[in-house]
Amino acid sequence: MKDFRKCTVYQIYPKSFYDTNGDGLGDLQGVTRKLDYIKTLGVDYIWLTPFFVSPQKDNGYDVEDYYNIDPRYGTMEDFETLAREADKRGIRLMLDMVFNHTSSRNQWFVKALAGDEKYKNYYIFKKGQAPGVPPTNWESKFGGSAWEYVPEMDEYYLHLFDVSQPDLNWDNEEVRREVAKVVRFWMDKGVKGFRFDVVNLISKGEFKDDDQGDGRRFYTDGPNIHKYLKELNELSFGNDTDIITVGEMSSTSMENCFQYAGADSHELSMVFSFHHLKVDFMGNEKWVLVPFDFKKLKDILFDWQVNMAAHNAWNAVFWCNHDQPRVVSRFGDEGIYWKESAKMLATVIHCLRGTPYIYQGEELGMTNPGFTDISQYRDVESLNHFKILQEKGLNEQCAYDILSVHSRDNSRTPVQWTDEENAGFTTGTPWIQVTKNYKTINARQQTQDPDSIFNYYRSLVALRKKYDVIAYGDIVPVDPHHPQIFAYERNYNGQQLFVVNNFYKKEIDWNCGKDLNEYQVLLSNYPQPEHREQIMHLRPYESVIYFRQK
């Protein structure tokens, strides 16, 4: 049995990972082909984003058939081969389960629209408040109303995301049993991990107009959410102690996460929360251009770290995923300090209390692509907001500037394997353009360079396995109000870790308040850390991990 506190998870977005048949789309055989690369990184689990049959309106998060592989990704035999080959290398698979909604092409919804009452009750249909007025004023997370009118029924169905993604009715016990059946099917295939997409939205509260916002307070962390997760646990993954689970928690509260990921709550192993990735938003508004708030970033991360520990609950810790911009472009430096800032950002996350997640290409320091034309974008959210921003009065260039920072496509460009055409991702035309810097940022170069970002990530993954303090220690913020330094201490059974990060390119002398001669350096992104007594001289984006045995 693997202890998930000592593990690291590597996220793969198959569509952009590696293409073996030249159709421009990554596939399951491509993941199998690159297992030795992943093994070299040292991770324990591969989280695969959805590869189920889907019309791909939302890149697979609109599931048409939960039991079959979309032909564009391969076959069930390809999946079984991947599972078998991963297991040979000590790597387990984590699948992405999208249970808040299905595709409108899912047979359940097709039958619902055909008038089958059983399946109509699988979804949320409501009468309008008046002719042409939806049941509530809730907004879709992708823009526009969260309700779609069906003339034949004179009713609306709820879609918190795209119009092609109708929400499931979890208050219907049959729905809950159906999704548990899906989980058990993949357990029987040997899957040992599950990530549940926006799972804290499955229990809706009152259906009424929101006079304070977009409706999210009526469906986030809803009234029966903990009951439904405990039930899903009991009916499926809870019967195998080897399985780890993580819930993606949209706009959640920490108090709910104490239960979602509590050691004894029998819900999930850990949670993704996103508050720390809204520090370059304006409130909850993503589609703006504002500098990131470093103080807020630290406050949020430390608040969650300290309080989740106090309640014996577990975090997933991360910067990147398929919905987030590349972190080195977001909080680091794409220029002269690209390597140093990428390593520093990795250190911050990997030494925290929680299970770290690495998103494909993050270990290479991949950057945002810098797209300049709407034809280069593929993401439905980005395409919608390009129009919405201009409707709000912004000119086209401003809309492009915002997309270049916040679009989900920033993280979805193909993995840069080599300096050959299309970064070695495909022999065909990639489904989305490759980032232009693949000649200098690619896996072939970095796996051969001992000082590379890739090898730095390898070291961080190995340190978590070697030092119990990283996996099990408490967390104590150090100088939390400092405007430039991100530092903290971890303690466990006489082991102490002291992690220091200069978050900016400005050099600084900092009194750390500790006799650094008592510590050894486990890892640093500069050849030799500089200090005299308690004063550290920190160079641009410098990062140092100190250790001592008390």
- Angle among Cα 404, 406, 407 to the nearest 5 degrees reads 75
Can you tell me the distance from the alpha carbon of 198 to that of 207, in angstroms, rounded to the nearest whole number?
Answer: 19
Tokens of 238: 């809870």
* pLDDT on residue 529: 87
Kindly give the parts of the chain with pLDDT less than 70.
1
Starting at the edge strand found earlier in the chain, the sheet holding 476-478 runs: 476-478, 485-492, 495-502, 543-549, 520-524
Starting at the edge strand found earlier in the chain, the sheet holding 535-538 runs: 508-511, 535-538, 530-532
3 state DSSP class of 130: strand
* pLDDT on residue 36: 98
* Pairing status of strand 520-524 against strand 193-196: unpaired
- pLDDT tens digits for range 423-444: 999 999 999 999 999 999 999 9
**Contact residues for 342 (Cβ-Cβ < 8 A; gap 6+):** 327, 328, 332, 365, 453
How many residues belong to the chain?
550
* Torsion angles phi and psi, residue 360, rounded to 5: -40, 130
Can you tell me the distance from the alpha carbon of 248 to that of 201, in angstroms, rounded to the nearest whole number?
Answer: 10
* pLDDT on residue 334: 96
**Contact residues for 99 (Cβ-Cβ < 8 A; gap 6+):** 168, 179, 182, 196, 197, 199, 202
Report CA Rg, the chain.
Answer: 23
Q: Which among 541, 538, 545 has a CA at the least distance from the CA of 503?
A: 541
Residues serving a catalytic function are 197, 248
Q: Assign residue 59 a region (left: φ > 0; alpha: ψ between -120 and 50; beta: otherwise).
A: left
Q: Are 170 and 160 in contact (CB under 8 A)?
A: no
Longest alpha-carbon distance in the chain: 77
* pLDDT on residue 380: 84
pTM reported for the whole predicted model:
0.95
